[in-house]
Structure 1
Amino acid sequence: MKKLLTNLKILTLLLLIPFITWSQTSVSGKVINSKGEGIPFVTIIEGGTSNGTTSDENGAFHLNVSKLPTNLKASFIGFKTQTITISSANNIIISLVEESFGLDEVIVTGNRAKPRTVLDSPVPIDNIGVNELKSSGQTTIDQMLTYKVPSYNSTNQTISDATAHFDPADLRGLGPSRTLVLINGKRKNQSALVYINDTPGKGEVGTDMKSIPTAAIERIEVLRDGASAQYGSDAIAGVINIVLKKNVEYTNLNVNSGITTKGDGFNIGADINSTLSIGENGGYANFTLSYYQQELTNRAGSPGGDGLFGVIFGDDAILNGTLPWLQQNPDMGMTVGQPEMKKGEFFYNMALPFKNDSGEFYAFGGLNTRKGTSFALYRTPYWVPDPFNLLHEAGTEYQGFQPTFETNIQDLFNSIGFKFDLFGFNADLSGTYGMNSVDYTIGNTLNPDLGAASPTNFKAGGYTFSNLIANFDLNRSFGQLSLALGAEARKEYFKADAGEPDSYFGSGAQSFPGIQPTNAVDEDRTNYGVYANLDWDASENFLIGGAIRYEDFSDFGSNSAWKISSRYKLGKKGALRASYGTGFRAPSLHQIYLSNIQTLVSGGTISNQGTFNNVDPVIRDGLGVPQLNAEESKNLSAGITLKPSNNFSFSLDFYKINVDNRVLFTGEVGFDGDNNTINPVEQILNDYNVTSIKFFINAVNTETNGADFVASFSNINFGGGSLGINFAGNFNNTKIVGQIATPQVLAENGYDIFNRKEQARITDSRPKTKIMLGFDYKLNDFSAQLNNTYFGEVTWQHASDPAKDQTFAGKVVTDINFNYNFSEKVSVNLSINNLLNVYPDAIDTKGDFVTDLGGRFKYPWEVNQFGFNGTILRAGLSYKF
């Protein structure tokens, strides 16, 4: 793979060399509105040519023109097109006048036929520029969106194997699988990992949001509405479209670093973004290189005793000899916090326009590679012995060990295509390849069954998911009608590679037995889809639209989805909007074919749990579990947008989402405690030498009701500067409707395949309320942002005893960010995340030692609001040249 990537890079550079030319005259300037503020993403074209560019997030632009003097035409939805004649090369000012009072942010997501403004859109969409993302002070896209979009949530997990390196993220509380992620409008591949640990999103598959560098992003559009009829599977909760930078004016170099106030979690990163002009028709190639690394944090509990194993202070501890070790290690050796990580990224976005403005060739994508280290439960001296001195020196007192879970993650995404005219239609023919892989190494551990011959590091295998997609899209406007048509063919691959034999021999390596050959998988499927989208501007104010999509999957059959939407403008100051549609989510290949053996600790008992895949006869025939099928949804949304003045806007949207036949990862199905008889489930457990089994099944229906609101005040005169205020929130509630569809064999033998704890992971593991209040102040070269985010309460439910449930109260996290421009080229940034050092409520076990694993966890880990790193200090330097 490395050799192939190297050859592809060399070939790409050789192909680009003939096209790279430098124009005779370079001009630069800025596009501003009536208040002198820069307008981002304005299209600027040289008169009489197709040569053009787009202004950056500050309104600045840079363009190579053929001659001077010449004309420049600037256009942007919501503003009157302006043409000016220029005779100089620098300090060009283009002033655009607003056409009307309206929500004038241009968005392309959710509109297959033509771009619209936020006001024109019949569905709610957030348009978040890169500067707004950076002002959160966060370092990854998933965390930036968490602090900018109220209905989006992502938190770092701990002691959860590979899940610690792929933070589960969701929109509107519907789980990671039900949000579709696009890059420049093309489907991003899912990650290779299934979240099988006890975290939010358990049993689901998401997109690796850490694989896209922030420095490559121009803006992110978040469609908060079901869109399966337009984009296909997964778009039940909404769509996130990541728009990459294009022809930027400057080369930008950024360096940043941070650390917690406890002195751990040190991180440092650097990135560079630049653009090359290609050819004479306005071609460009934007490149981003990025590096980032972080150290671990540790917020383990310190109970002093170990209730999980019945080891407590007092006579017991003295008699069994554990008291000295517990006194020396009140945290029981644990490391509970963010993992170590190093990552490097390369991204690009290029376009080569054809002559006479007849179309363009484009390509974009990138490679992300990262290595991470997280930790498993510490093996105390009284838990796992080391009689052969593999992890300690002979003659020294044995202290136990904490196994490491080390990941090597690769994510590759590339899309190429052509845009051209076809019989009056705007045509787009593209091909996209995406791949995500994760390989496991289990370190600082041993396999007791190998005795003195046991290694202390094990290659435990890994997973790979990839897809190959072909798209052909057409759109055209016929007066007041806008029509979009398209077809898609997709091939998906899922592969599980076995670990080295030592990793799974006997009971396997401590903390994570390697993937066995019997669990190795190499499967694929194909699917084909067609769609049509029609919008009709019946009048200047009234829009009605509809979409329909049909898809056929090789493994489970076909599915159809449709959607209708409408918008009515309230003059020039607002609009009413509504939509209703159906949606679907195909079960992922991972969920169909994943199988493994995993070490669990429950109630002081160490056991091996087996996950059997959906095509295994043990599951299908032995337990009567049906073939996995697509989830189906119904999505109703209605709202209002208002912008009574240029400086104030408001939107409020209500939604109801029903999802039927949700794919579940069951709870543990084990022995029923009756030693006199062996039921069919117990026979399977004995045959496969496991103490419990899990499997995937369509088994539950859910209903989600909620509301989103966004209010924005801008350009408030304050202290000689300009103040902006943003107030936004999400209210969200998901409930299970009807009964869990338990297979007959399991129901007859009294098994609960989805107990209270597992159900709460769907209904209560994410905040039901999230409210943001932010202030943005600008004074000359100085700017500051103060953001307050309220994360509502979450509830952990005990598997069987409601008296042991715990609700963790809502908390406000305050972030502050300062930026100062020393010149047009140099600026510095300082930020404090979680200024007031807020932590979640501590766990109250209420007599159940399993809740916090014997006191090892101080803060909640199965439900999560905002993590528990505390205050983080960050600083950054930016240089433009």
Structure 2
Amino acid sequence: MKLSQLLSVALLLGSLGVAAQTVSGTVTDAGEPIIGATISAGATGTVTDIDGTYSLDLRAAGTYTLTASYIGYTSQTREFTLTTGQTVTWNVVLEGGATNLEELVVVGSRTAPRSSTTSPLPVDVFKSEDLTSTGQATFDKALQYRVPSFNTVQTPVNDATSLLDPYEIRNMGPSRTLILINGKRKNMSSLLYTQTSPGRGETGSDISAIPTDAIKRVEILRDGASAQYGSDAIAGVMNIVLKDNAEDGTVTLRTGITTEGDGEQLGIALNNGTAIGESGFINYTIDLSKISQANRPGTVDAAGEAGDFGASIEDVQSFLNRYPDAGNINGSPETTASKFVVNFGSDVSDNTKFYGNAAYVYKKVNSFANYRTPYWRTLADFPYLADFFPNGPNGEYIGYVPTFEGNLNDYNGTIGFLTEKDGWIADVSFTTGGNEQTYTVSNSHNRNMTLNPDSTFKYRENSPITFDPGGTRFTHNVGNIDVTRRLSDKVGIAFGSEFRNENFTVIEGELASYEDGGADSFAGNDPRNSGNFNRFNFGGYADAAFDFTDDFLVNATVRLENYSDFGNAFVYKVSSRYKFAEDKVTLRGSFSTGFKAPTLHQIYTQKAQYSFVPGQGIQVGGLVSNVSREARLLGLPALEPEKSTNFTVGVGLRPNSDLSITLDYYNIKVEDRIILSTEIGSTEAGNTQLDELLADNNLSDLSFFVNGLDTRTSGIDFVANYRGLRFNDRSLVVNLSGNYTLQNERIGAVKNPEIVAGAGQSVANPTQEALFFTSRPKYKAILGLDYDWEKFGVSVNNTLFGPTEFRQQGLATGLYTEFETKVVTDLSLFYRATEKFTLQFNANNIFNVLPEWNFKSESAAGDALLNDAAALRNQSNLITFNQRYSQMTYDGYHFSQLGTILTASASLRF
């Protein structure tokens, strides 16, 4: 056993203590467990888990009134008088009721909700406490350490990506997981990831903007669901259910710091609820936070710098002796955020409920480009820089570091009516949302070489040093009508429709930010590439669930969508489950087809793109819009929707009340997968349309979107929960979950446009394919141990990150890089000082485990390089920009590089 594992167990077992007062039991409907039902006693509450069981700890002896409630059911209450250390059982059977309709949704089916172990689809449910107990600063990072198939990490060079990090489920990219808020589609971000990082060429919703204090629970459907929800649900669906407590409030103060003394965190969050009339509620959350910059630069290699920039080794060494990291700033950016969420609802009649929610988020992020050293941007080439950037100790020029400031505004809102009549339940809603990102580049200049008629330069010494490069905006408006009906105890049906209008705007930058190359480090949006782009779609679905027996269920869904820009899409899904052995064993499976529409971002984005090219430094390439004049000259085909088939089969086991296990195999095939091509450079002949476009626009290369690949992804998900280890009449809860990728690869040949194939190039080179297929952990597992008693609680969480592989651009033939398998251990301690005041301490990555990578060989040529230290050093310089990014390489890594992070919080209920 490893030292970290021994210490984790020791920390846990050394903390066992006294008993508390506990009410536990199950919540069912006609013998069927109900997942996510709420059990509350005043300010204290919990929800039932995947098998309908719950355990509610009460802090002091006394009399309590407990309430059990859930969607579409009549609530039940019961009073208990508990003595110190007493444990009682309350098993609740809820009955359907038309006057208790709440806006809670369990993903996976449009008909009645079911438990995870007995449902035909794999669904994970996480309570708010599961997220806040991680001590992570944002919602997406909390999921990283709770969901094995979910991955996200900060990219080493941020630019616009610093505003929100790419995430994905099952290595499928951020755009193939649909995000819902209270069951309604959340807007996408306006950001298109164009850096060489996981998620390249895609966009997703900004889930980091959602404050964890506003979340009641999170439901994650790990299965394709395009038939139920439309585009973007190829990998699955994440439904974020907001708090709806009308009685209690909580204010929480958080702080933290890394053990390196940077990355300071400070935040305050208020969640409060109040009643509206006799039947309504409003619950709101305000979250204000700031995270300071954390810097993890490498020690720059002098020989590599001299070779790359044609500088004398003496000049390079002189600078690096004073500044070993070459002034680089990379790690995690400074982020300030203000988040506001409100959730509300009220009965308007005996059978109709009005509901709604709204959220607004503002984030400001400050990050940096690569430092321009004085031997990179020299005074010989740019003499005016001595006046622009007198940054040295005595006012001399020692280079400069361009800054990148991003401003993000994200909002979403829903209003609707939920009504029941004669057994029919109708849900009518309208949802709106948007995301805007605008940027500022400072401490830079426009270094154009174009002469004015009077032989002076328009910019250079006349250049501003602060630029407005513009930004992007995305908005959508969505209307939904959903109708459900339980025809009998054997048959349930649902049908509905959705109308969605989307608008994508490229906001133009000021003239100096884009003209003649624009601002050094980040070029602005040219008006010729800016504008508003719009489309709409209309879809309808029908869903039916058949309980042929109490044990055998079949669910079927069909959906038809029509998009204004590419036409129709028809998809379907069939799922089933069979229970036996007195419901202790459930077999389940599903087969579905799906689609993902090309986003407006992918169709219309056209811009100059700064990127790092190994051995060549920073180059300016062009991203060509798929519907542009340039695209027509190149003969690029119009984008079509991706098509998918998804097969899942699994088993759910419930051998006793203390143990539940689910094991699911999935297989996802995606045809015509949309990718952002690799950089296509000039041809050897030098006389093609491609060469002319590059020369006319002063570009080193071009990239564009194309339906370039067919792919297959398969793997296994495992989830187990055990609460049978008891100490002092309390259970040690053990949670073990994991994801193992069996296959994630291209099927068949790359689909190259004719002009690319004719130039002997490909839209997907080994670097691109590594980002698609091997840049996330091959396997990931989470072992959690939780023990809670009267005033104290301890949680130890071990996250195993499997290996990842990269084939970075410029890397010699026969070599690739592999990040090693690592275990990150997190410790969380709770102390309930009073019934209303709680302290929490987290030591995340307590053993300071950092990513480590090594070169690996895949051929005899690679073997020879592994035995040549000088050659390996050269290859290392290529992929780390001469060691600036030595810890993670330039293309990314599989978990945080910040090491140990200490956080503390104090929470007061009122």
TM-score by length of 1: 0.89
Taking the aligned partners of 1:108 and 1:406, their CA distance within structure 2 comes to 39
**Residue of structure 1 equivalent to 2:293:** 296
Q: 1:701 aligns with which of 710, 716, 720?
A: 710
Q: Who is 1:376 aligned against?
A: 369
Query: Is the 1:661–1:699 contact (alpha carbons within 8 Å) kept by the matching residues of 2?
Result: yes
1:465 matched to 2:494: no
Show the 5 A alignment for 1:351-362.
Answer: 351-356=345-350, 358-362=351-355
Q: Does 1:832 align with 2:843?
A: yes
Report if the CA contact (8 A) 1:766-1:794 is conserved: yes
Amino acid at match of 2:603: I
Distance change in 2, residues 1:261/1:600 (3 Å): same
Counterparts of residues 5-404 of structure 1 (less than 5 Å): 32-34=23-25, 42=37, 55-56=45-46, 74-75=68-69, 84=78, 96-97=90-91, 108-280=106-278, 282-305=279-302, 307-310=304-307, 316-318=312-314, 321-356=315-350, 358-385=351-378, 387-388=383-384, 389-392=387-390, 396-404=395-403
Encode CA deviations 1:691-744: one digit per residue, 9 max, x unaligned.
110000001000011000011111521366431111110001311000111011
| Structure 1 residues 312 and 53: alpha-carbon distance in aligned structure 2, compared to 1, 3 A threshold | closer
SS in 2 for 1:760: helix
Cα drift, residue 308 of structure 1? 4.8
Cα distance in 2 for partners of 1:560, 1:855 equals 50
Closer, same or farther in 2 for the Cα pair 1:793/1:219, shift >3 Å? same
Is this contact kept in 2: 1:577–1:640, CA < 8 A?
A: yes
Distance 1:533 1:592, change over 3 A: same
Residues 602-621 of structure 1 mapped to structure 2, 5 A cutoff:
602=613, 603-619=615-631, 621=632
User: Residue 804 of structure 1 contacts residue 847 of structure 1 at CA under 8 Å; is this kept in 2?
Assistant: no
Q: In the aligned structure 2, how far is the partner of 1:77 from the partner of 1:334? A: 53
Which secondary structure does the structure 1 equivalent of 2:835 belong to?
coil
Q: CA 1:798/1:322 → structure 2, altered by over 3 Å: closer, same or farther?
A: closer
* CA shift for structure 1 position 387: 2.7
Question: Is the 2:471–2:509 contact (alpha carbons within 8 Å) kept by the matching residues of 1?
Answer: yes
| Residue in structure 2 matching 1:669, options 667, 670, 680 | 680
The equivalent residue for 1:820 is 831
Change (3 A) 1:34 1:703: closer
Q: Please tell me the residue identity of whatever aligns with 2:363.
A: R
| 8 Å Cα contact 1:134/1:144 also seen in 2 | yes
Aligned to 1:549: 559
C-alpha spacing 1:867/1:591, structure 2 compared with 1 (3 Å) = same
Q: In the alignment, is the contact (CA less than 8 A) between 1:124 and 1:224 conserved in 2?
A: yes
Distance in 1, Cα, partners of 2:43 & 2:794:
30
Of 761, 781, 788 in structure 2, the residue corresponding to residue 771 of structure 1 is 781
2:428 aligns to what?
429
User: 2: distance between equivalents of 1:86 and 1:715?
Assistant: 25
Tell me: CA distance 1:250–1:306, structure 2 relative to 1, closer, same or farther (3 Å).
farther
The worse-fitting range, judged by mean Cα deviation, of 578-587 and 77-86 is 77-86
- Change in Cα spacing, 1:168 to 1:83, as seen in structure 2 (3 Å) is closer
- How much has 1:54 moved relative to structure 2? 11
Pairing 1:456-605 to 2, within 5 Å after superposition:
456-479=465-488, 480-570=490-580, 571-602=582-613, 603-605=615-617
2:883 corresponds to which residue? 855
Q: Quick check: 1:107–1:118 contact (8 Å CA) kept in 2? A: no
Q: Partner of 2:867 in structure 1? A: none
Letter of the structure 1 residue corresponding to residue 164 of structure 2: F
Deviation per residue, 1:809-857 (Å, 9 max, x gap): 1111111100010111001000111111111115666523331112111
- Contact kept, 8 Å, 2:273 with 2:281, in 1: the verdict is yes
Verify the 8 A CA contact 2:423 2:486 in the aligned structure 1.
Answer: no
- Structure 1 pair 109–122 and aligned structure 2 pair: CA distance change class (3 A): same
Kindly provide the amino acid, as one letter, of the partner of residue 833 in structure 2: F
RMSD: 3.0
Separation in 1 of the partners of 2:557 and 2:444? 55
The one-letter amino acid paired with 2:295 is N
Deviations 1:331-389 (A, max 9, x none): 11111100100000110000011232x11111102100010011111100111246331
Residues 647-686 of structure 1: pairs in structure 2 closer than 5 A = 647-672=658-683, 674=684, 677-686=686-695
Deviation at 1:574, TM superposition (A): 2.9
Question: Which residue matches 2:452?
Answer: none
Q: Which residue of 2 aligns with 1:808?
A: 819
Q: Which amino acid aligns with 1:387?
A: P
Matched-pair contact (CA < 8 Å) for 1:300–1:335: yes
Which among 887, 895, 898 is matched to residue 866 of structure 1?
Answer: 895
Structure 2 contact 176–232 (Cα < 8 Å) conserved: yes
AA of the residue aligned to 2:296? R
Q: Name the CA distance, whole Å, in 2 between partners of 1:471 and 1:517.
A: 36
Contact 1:176-1:205 within 8 A present in 2 as well: yes
> Is structure 2 residue 877 aligned with structure 1 residue 877?
no
Per the alignment, residue 7 of structure 1 pairs with none
8 Å contact kept, 1:31–1:55: no
Is the 1:788–1:814 contact (alpha carbons within 8 Å) kept by the matching residues of 2? yes
In 1, Cα distance between the equivalents of 2:836 and 2:623?
A: 56
Cα separation, partners in 2 of 1:670 and 1:703, compared to 1, 3 Å: same
Q: Secondary structure at the match of 1:173?
A: coil
Call closer, same or farther: CA 1:725–1:74 in 2, change over 3 Å.
closer
Deviation for aligned residue 1:771? 1.0
* 1:405-420 matches, cutoff 5 A: 405-420=404-419
Shift of 1:94: 9.8
The AA in structure 2 aligned to 1:403 is P
The offset of 1:422, in angstroms, is: 5.0
Structure 2 CA distance for partners of 1:53 and 1:792, relative to 1, 3 Å: closer
Residue 147 of structure 1 and its aligned partner are, at CA, apart by 0.6
In the alignment, is residue 729 of structure 1 matched against residue 738 of structure 2? yes
Which residue of the partner structure matches residue 68 of structure 1? none
CA–CA distance in structure 2, aligned partners of residues 439 and 322 of structure 1: 36
Q: What letter is aligned with 2:529?
A: N
Alignment-derived partner of residue 443 in structure 1: 442
Query: Is the contact between residue 79 and residue 99 of structure 1 (CA under 8 Å) also seen in structure 2?
Result: no
- Please name the residue that 2:798 is paired with: 788
CA positional deviation for 1:329? 1.1
Answering whether residue 656 of structure 2 is matched by residue 628 of structure 1, we say: no
- CA shift digits 1:541-566 (9 cap, x unpaired): 11001001100000011101100000
Corresponding residue SS for 1:802: coil
Give the corresponding residue for 2:8: none
Listed one character per residue, the Cα deviations across residues 122-171 of structure 1 (whole Å, up to 9, x for unaligned) are: 00000100111122221211111111010000111131311122110000
Q: Is the 8 A contact 1:61 1:249 kept in 2?
A: no
Alpha carbons of structure 1 residues 430 and 238: separation in structure 2 relative to 1, 3 Å: same
Q: What letter corresponds to residue 711 of structure 2 in structure 1?
A: T
Alpha-carbon offset, residue 322 of structure 1: 3.1
Secondary structure, aligned partner of 2:878: coil
Does the 8 Å CA contact 2:507/2:530 hold for their aligned counterparts?
yes
Give the secondary structure class of the aligned counterpart of 2:517: coil
The percentage of aligned residue pairs carrying the same residue is: 37
Show structure 2 runs of 5+ residues with no match. Answer: 1-20, 28-33, 48-53, 59-64, 82-86, 95-103, 449-458, 856-871
Kept in 1, the 8 Å contact 2:306–2:312? The answer is no
Aligned equivalents of 1:113 and 1:366: distance in 2? Answer: 28
Residues 115, 841 of structure 1: alpha-carbon distance in 2 compared, 3 angstrom cutoff: same
Q: Report the TM-score, using the length of structure 2 for normalisation.
A: 0.86
